[in-house]
Chain A
């Protein structure tokens, strides 16, 4: 498989401008002659569908949700980065670019990241014009806060509900296009296969979640904006329905899957209260701006937090990383918490957390200011735990949160299948091995509003005058038949265990062997255990109900089935990447101080896996990464 990243020529700061000038255009009058399918209506998909609709294309948008406003993007709390330098503290496009490449531990493409930083400023303008109520200062100008991995204030926010407000902005623009008839929305409709004809994307096969009916849709191009795959771990901060099916089905049809082992564990989640809990609530990492993280120095210290004197507390992030302190990047902060809890210094009834303490900030700034900044987060915490963070420190622990890996895309966001694009968390592009806080919203919106609508015409222009492949084409018919068979198959196994039961067991394997810390031994074990469990799934699954009306157990079965195959790719990827970088930490590759040790000589590349028909034996292709602007260096946050 050839991986041509199609990075434009020229100096880094001119590549995107040059590209936009050189690409082929579709003139406004011809755009209505093109059909485009967009799957996913979160930030990345909704923004793309709305913008393509505005430009005059015929857009069909699909979501399994009942409304675009429900996408998982809505849950983002903390904020969105942009190189506006409104604070005059030395920020610039170049600095945001630099921070993101470094934060990604030198495993992302420089050209993509630079473009992301360039577009970041337009996002804030765009969202503000739509009426996104970003936080303001008393003078009426936009407010900023700082976020993990950065030493400037560049994060824009709307209380603790930034994702919600950005998504409502996207949704309002999409709704306008739906009302105008430029976008047709198919809600409660799930993509279950991708159809490729003569090597190009021809369309998709979907299942109506209300009736179980399977149908096909074809178009000149297909965009997948279907989010990340953290739910493979069962335990995660993602919404319950997030899944990998769309990306995985595309992979099975020829789209390479890049860096599946790059997953991010978020350092500040509320620890699990019982083992049935799958969804963990995240406490925005913006809290680390004012909260101080600590654990008792002694594992035997069982006193309540307020009775532990300063001398017996270990502010371990401030101690280990004096210049970044509590704002150390997520992977660093997460592993540091794991070290404390593994050493028996965990706090709370299950000793499965560390403290995030606001008492100093409250003393310094007053309760009012803290309430202004984090009021709704504190409320949320109290609702869940019955404890008030104004009075006692929060308890936090890391949990799977974001997946940097995803469908391989070139500079144009096209996958290895021509005409099939991937945007937002579903692709692998901009974050390398670790994503910095507040940059997923930025990437989703940059992809959706500014990148894809500019690159897609390059593919479409030569197709002028062609019609999409009709859905009675044998490839569509065969895919529909296979999908019908797959779903009726789940119903007829008649075994003893529910999809959730298998999901829980798969998650246990993944958390232990492919979570915060990975070893050759553990991964090898996982690669034996996962196919074995998958085989049991195929024999012993129990799905009650029928296939002709809403059946959430059946939906879950299809999603868990795909997670099993993805899990193998993740473990293989983690096993073959014999280095530690960003969120991928191989215990065999660490410095004496326990920091991640990269191997740039052998692994400064993207691993893009190619489907072979056997989930245990995909082919590993590589795309070398070169760093002409940000020099490869050991990432240090000391």
Chain B
């Protein structure tokens, strides 16, 4: 175990419409075996001891799966370790004496709630518009009736691994949500069960996405920042299906 003395520059903002600014906080004697959020817990305990308000930040599972944690750490979404959510980042990735700048996700579609906490419900709107397979409870046939080739199931799982954290949006110079949306679309569009709604799904989800988020210009920053290393290949898949949907959905209309 090594002890680190750090200087934190933390974004503080009292509410959605309040002006924000950086607060400088000395974090001394931090055990490098700790996770980044455990470090913030300690900083918060010290703030409360000093009669100050604790830093507000979102978190829950602390094991990289719920997608609740966020944070821009020194300008990088989820910090310096690739394929790692903030809650799984450990202080051994930092060095004694380092200055660490901590900011919330910055994107118009993710308004700041307070300090480092943002509102990511635009993601929910995208899913509500089509991110499902219509399968009402009770009507399902035996699960082994439709064999699914392993590579297909694996590819769907690769996409389904997205935790909905929003790092892809935060890292994107255009604040686009194409990586998230494509992961959601591809998970279902790859599977045999998802075929019936394949084109209506992609159309609805992409259209909803465009209401909230910027346009993708293929920077690829999203894939770099993604804690689950979701591949931008899914964006290509989504775009292909979206194009086809314009044709297929219209053909369906003409048949009515």
Contact = CB atoms under 8 A, between A and B. Distances in A.
A136 B120 contact: no
Given A65-B68, A273-B33, A277-B38, A550 B120 contact: no
A134 interface: yes
A220 to B, nearest CB: 20
B254 interface: no
A133 B148 CA distance: 10
B14 interface: yes
B191 A281 contact: no
B61 A75 contact: yes
B124 A175 contact: yes
Contacts of B129: 179
Interface stretch (B152-160, B212-220, B237-245): B152-160
A210 interface: yes
B66 A74 contact: yes
B153 A240 contact: no
Contact of A141 (B88, B92, B144): B144
A44 B140 CA distance: 19
Interface stretch (B19-27, B43-51, B99-107): B43-51
Interface string A603-620: 000000000000000000
Contact of A135 (B114, B136, B153): B153
A135 B52 CA distance: 49
B193 interface: yes
Interface stretch (A6-14, A165-173, A259-267, A417-425): A165-173
Contact of A74 (B14, B61, B127): B61
Contact of B41 (A141, A161, A276): A276
Interface in A511-553: 542, 544-545, 549-553
Given A142-B143, A240-B60, A66 B150 contact: no
Given A128-B143, A240-B60, A66 B120 contact: yes
B159 to A, nearest CB: 9
Contacts of B187: 131, 133
B33 A138 contact: no
B58 to A, nearest CB: 7
A489 B228 CA distance: 43
Given A165-B160, A549-B114, A553-B54, A67 B135 contact: no
Nearest to A445: B137
Contacts of B144: 84, 86, 141-142
A130 B194 CA distance: 8
B140 A122 contact: yes
A239 B87 CA distance: 12
Contacts of A294: none
A311 interface: no
Nearest to B156: A133
B62 A54 contact: no
B123 interface: yes
Contacts of B14: 549
A319 to B, nearest CB: 32
Interface string B105-134: 000000001100101110110011101111
B97 interface: no
A331 B146 CA distance: 38
A131 B64 contact: no
B188 A131 contact: yes
Contacts of A74: 61, 65-66
A413 to B, nearest CB: 16
Contact of A172 (B47, B127, B137): B127
B113 A239 contact: no
A320 interface: no
B54 to A, nearest CB: 5
A125 B140 contact: yes
Contacts of A129: 133, 135, 139-141, 143, 193
A175 B135 contact: no
B114 to A, nearest CB: 4
Given A133-B153, A550-B113, A553-B48, A67 B132 contact: no
A122 B84 CA distance: 35
A380 B64 contact: yes
B79 interface: no
B128 A179 contact: yes
A133 B191 contact: yes
A453 B128 contact: no
- Looking at B60, B133, B141, the one whose CB has the most chain A CB atoms below 10 A away is B60
B63 interface: yes
B56 interface: yes
A273 B66 contact: no
- Looking at B35, B60, B137, the one whose CB has the most chain A CB atoms below 10 A away is B137
Interface in A51-101: 51, 54, 65-67, 69-72, 74-75, 84, 86
Contact of B92 (A240, A386, A498, A551): A386
Contact of B147 (A66, A124, A133, A139): A139
Given A277-B38, A549-B114, A550-B56, A136 B153 contact: yes
Contacts of B54: 544-545, 552-553
Given A67-B164, A133-B156, A239-B60, A126 B68 contact: no
A164 interface: yes
Contacts of A240: 59-62
A603 B256 CA distance: 67
A133 B157 contact: yes
B31 A173 contact: no
Nearest to B81: A383
B34 A277 contact: yes
B173 to A, nearest CB: 25
A274 interface: yes
Nearest to B163: A164
A150 B150 CA distance: 26
Contact of B123 (A67, A138, A168, A278): A67
A168 B67 CA distance: 12
Nearest to B64: A380
Interface string A136-172: 1111111000000000000000110101110010011
A403 to B, nearest CB: 17
B197 to A, nearest CB: 10
Contacts of B191: 131, 133
B90 interface: yes
Contacts of B59: 240
B6 interface: no
Given A133-B156, A140-B150, A276 B62 contact: no
A176 interface: yes
Contacts of A453: 137
B143 to A, nearest CB: 4
A75 B88 CA distance: 14
Nearest to A549: B15
A140 B131 contact: no
Given A239-B61, A384-B88, A450-B138, 4 more contacts: A75-B65, A131-B194, A136-B154, A552-B54
10 contacts: A47-B137, A66-B121, A67-B120, A67-B123, A84-B144, A125-B143, A179-B129, A384-B35, A544-B48, A550-B114
Closest 8 A-B residue pairs measured CB to CB?
Answer: A140-B147, A172-B132, A179-B128, A129-B140, A125-B140, A128-B143, A129-B135, A545-B53
Interface of B: 1, 14-15, 31, 33-35, 38, 41-42, 44-45, 47-49, 51-54, 56, 58-68, 81, 84, 88, 90, 92, 113-114, 117, 119-121, 123-124, 127-129, 131-144, 147-150, 153-154, 156-157, 160-161, 163-164, 187-188, 191, 193-194
